[in-house]
Chain A
Amino acid sequence: MSTLAIDKRTLRQDTWWLEPMLVVLGLGAFAVYSTWAALQNGNYYAAPYLSPFYSPCLAINCEHVSVPLFGSWYNWSPAILILWIPGGFRLTCYYYRKAYYRSFFWSPPACAVRDAASGYSGETRFPFILQNIHRYFFWASLPILAFLWWDAIIAFNFGGSFGIGLGTLVLIANAALLSLYSFSCHSCRHLCGGGLNSFKTAPGRYKAWGIITKLNEKHMQIAWTSLVWVGLTDVYVRLLAHGVIQDLRFI
């Protein structure tokens, strides 16, 4: 016996192609902009603001050195030293996997719409089996968050005197959104308590798991908001550094 044989890709009549198209445009625009910005190797610091694409800045040659790990021999863009961590974190994220498997690979493009490829092995083989390292990127994202919070704190320091500029608020929101992104991660949810069979014996982890679960339900929304915001933060700092705009100072 065989299954229903119909030549059409789908019997759906709604605009199922809209969502994958928007995701391609959104992720595509971010990929193009962030690659361009990461390769600029300049205009990523406008005192006291450091662009998150270049934080922590690990080379002596940085416009603003966070930790001088790489000597003066290193004169490529310092963004390359660090962006593989948030990049890898997002690339292996359960939400983004769904987003790009659907929109870029058409595997499937939408529910009950036929896959583009005829063969399929999912995440059982190379390269997609590598998605299993996602939790290592989660761990690696934590020190980066610490640096981003540090950047937000020193964004109150205008040459020794306390101040608040629009950039200060932008950097705080950036650190907050990226923290929400990391802590709403599915791997984080598992590590906090999801891996246990009995919560009764671990009340602290049960509580943590409950909070992370609430955040996790919003992981997709947080993923997009933080992605857009981190891009806009770089744009803001870059425009300041270029002198195209002036920072708005509140204090």
Chain B
Amino acid sequence: MAEAAVAGNGAEAKMRVWRGDASGGEFRDYTVPLQEGMVVLDVIHAIQAMHAGDLAVRWNCKAGKCGSCSAEVNGKPRLMCMTRMNTFEPGETITVAPIKTFPLIRDLVTDVSYNYEKAKTIPPFKPKPKEADGTRRMYQEDIDRVQEFHKCIECYLCQDVCHVIRDHDDNKPSFAGPRFFVRVASLEMHPLDTDDRLEFLRNEAGLGFCNITKCCTEVCPEHIKITDNSIIPMKERVVTRFYDPIARLLGALGGKKS
């Protein structure tokens, strides 16, 4: 009843959705009835139901937690399930495109395996030996800082928006991307970890390619301060190791391995 009433209002969503694959395609216009509380993903589902049963879209939770429904809505990398229709002007045509940085499979679905390959290159957690009583202890103040990084849902919106690979495909082999700088930071700052990933960060992961222009931070749906809290602190550690002879000297004098 209520639905019919709203639909009877005549409110409509005008959508322009990418249809096609890597060999070619076009933006196609669709109009569906707009209902109270809809998000972009709902509208995509309505298009599937009413006009285009073969429209390909990846989604899972509809709650902003699985990280599957990444797309570019009016040119901005977003989660479709967390983008409410009432944030747009009534009557505005809304463009939905697949994320640009990764190879297009079909319609709104891309192949994000670049990210899985990069994940494999990261040296894993290597914990300290247990204490005499058979446990490992961590303290709240040490855990607070890395907690933020564990909120990542691997939506790869940050990877998508990062101009290092978005606009320069040739950098892909030498750059891990912001999501993995977050990952490395969570390991490097971990109070129990004993591995050292600074050389990895500088060389294989290509931390130096990042020019801290902060688009990754702007798009992160989990509001992780990627640039300020992981990338810049990692850049500073790389500076201490590779570019700051005085810090190294003081470290050596203090008997610490820097």
A101 to B141, CA, bound (A): 35
Chain A nearest Cβ from B158, distance in angstroms: 10
**Chain B hits for A5, CB < 8 A:** 22
Partner-binding segment picked from A68-76, A110-118, A169-177, A221-229: A110-118
Chain A residue nearest in CB terms to B102: A3
Tell me which residues across on chain B come within 8 A of A216, comparing CB atoms: 228
Complex contacts, A98 vs chain B, CB 8 Å: 211-214
Is residue A121 contacting chain B, with contact meaning CB distance below 8 A? Answer: yes
CB contact between B142 and one of A11, A14, A198 (< 8 Å): that residue: A198
Which of A50-58, A81-89, A189-197, A242-250 touches B?
A: A189-197
A1 and B103 contacting across the interface, CB-CB below 8 Å: yes
Task: Confirm or deny: B182 has a beta carbon within 8 angstroms of a beta carbon on chain A.
Answer: no
Interface size on A, residues (CB 8 A): 49
Report the separation of the CA atoms of residues A198 and B101 in the bound assembly, to the nearest whole angstrom.
37
Q: Pick from B37-45, B115-123, B166-174 the stretch touching chain A.
A: B166-174
Q: List 23 A-B contacts (CB under 8 A).
A: A1-B103, A1-B105, A3-B110, A4-B97, A5-B22, A6-B97, A6-B100, A97-B212, A101-B213, A107-B163, A108-B163, A111-B219, A114-B163, A119-B168, A120-B168, A124-B206, A136-B244, A186-B236, A187-B236, A190-B236, A197-B190, A198-B191, A199-B139
B200 interface contact, C-beta 8 A? no
Interface positions of B (Cβ within 8 A of A): 18, 22, 72, 74-77, 95, 97-98, 100-105, 110-111, 139, 141-142, 145, 161, 163-164, 166-169, 171, 188-191, 193, 206, 208-215, 218-219, 228, 232-233, 235-240, 242-244
The main secondary structure of chain B at its interface with chain A is mixed
B141 — which chain A residues lie within 8 A by C-beta?
199-200, 206
Assuming A186-B232, A206-B141, is B211 touching A107 (CB within 8 A)? yes
**A107-155 interface (Cβ within 8 A of B):** 107-108, 111-112, 114-115, 118-124, 128-129, 132-136
Within the complex, the shortest CB–CB distance from B48 to chain A, in Å, comes to 20
| Residues of chain B contacted by A119 (CB below 8 angstroms) | 168
Contacts of B193 in A (CB 8 A): 197
Q: In whole angstroms, how far apart are the Cα atoms of A129 and B244 in the complex?
A: 13
Residue A123 contacts which of B208, B233, B244 (CB distance < 8 angstroms)? B208
A12 within 8 A of B: yes
Which residues from B are CB-within-8-Å of A94?
Answer: 212, 232
Interfacial chain B residues near A206, Cβ < 8 Å: 141
Taking CB atoms and an 8 Å cut-off, the chain A residues in 1-52 that contact chain B are 1-6, 10-14
- How many whole Å from B209's CB to the nearest CB in chain A? 4
Q: A101-B211, A115-B168 are in contact. List 7 more A-B contacts (CB 8 A).
A: A11-B72, A97-B212, A111-B76, A187-B236, A187-B239, A194-B233, A194-B236
